[in-house]
Structures are given as C-alpha cells and as structure tokens.
Amino acid sequence: MRSLDRGESFVVTRNGVPVGELIPLRRRTFVSAEAVAAAFAGAPELEPERFRDDIDAVVDQGPVPRG
C-alpha cells in the first residue's frame, strides 16, 4: 500500500499469467467556482427544450425497464 501511495503500479498474475493491474487512484483536483465560471463564460446559452429533445433522440428514457 505504501508503494501505491508513492505512485507505483503492479501487475497481478495468476500462475505467472497477468490477470489485472493495481494502480494508484488519481488525486482529485479542486477547481474553484470562479475558475469554472470563467471557463464557461464564452459558452453558448443552453436552450432547455432543445437540449431535452437532443437527449431524447439518442437515449431511451422510457419508464418500462429494458431487459
């Protein structure tokens, strides 16, 4: 675990055959609200109805479970 804390990765094997990889989690970076607002300042305004229509065109959101 200390090695993972230092950023080391490991290949997990079974009978000498690689079956997985153990890697450290990426650290989350805090981004301030001001930085986010600045990043999106030039973005076009969202039109909620058009956005919903676009989502509905590609995602099945019916109340009946798939399966």
Convert the pLDDT of each residue in 20-66 to its tens digit: 999 999 888 899 999 999 999 999 988 999 999 999 888 877 777 76
DSSP β-bridge partners for residue 10: 22
CA–CA–CA angle 42, 37, 28 (5° rounding): 125
Domain boundaries, the chain: 2-58
Distance CA 49, CA 46 (A): 9
More confident residue, 58 or 11: 11
Per-residue confidence (pLDDT) for residue 28, from 0 to 100 = 83
Cα gap 56→61, rounded to integer Å: 7
pTM: 0.40
Q: What pLDDT, on the 0 to 100 scale, is given for residue 67?
A: 65
Query: What is the pLDDT at residue 32?
Result: 95
- C-alpha–C-alpha distance, residues 47 and 40, integer Å: 15
Candidates 23, 17, 32; CA nearest to 1 is 23
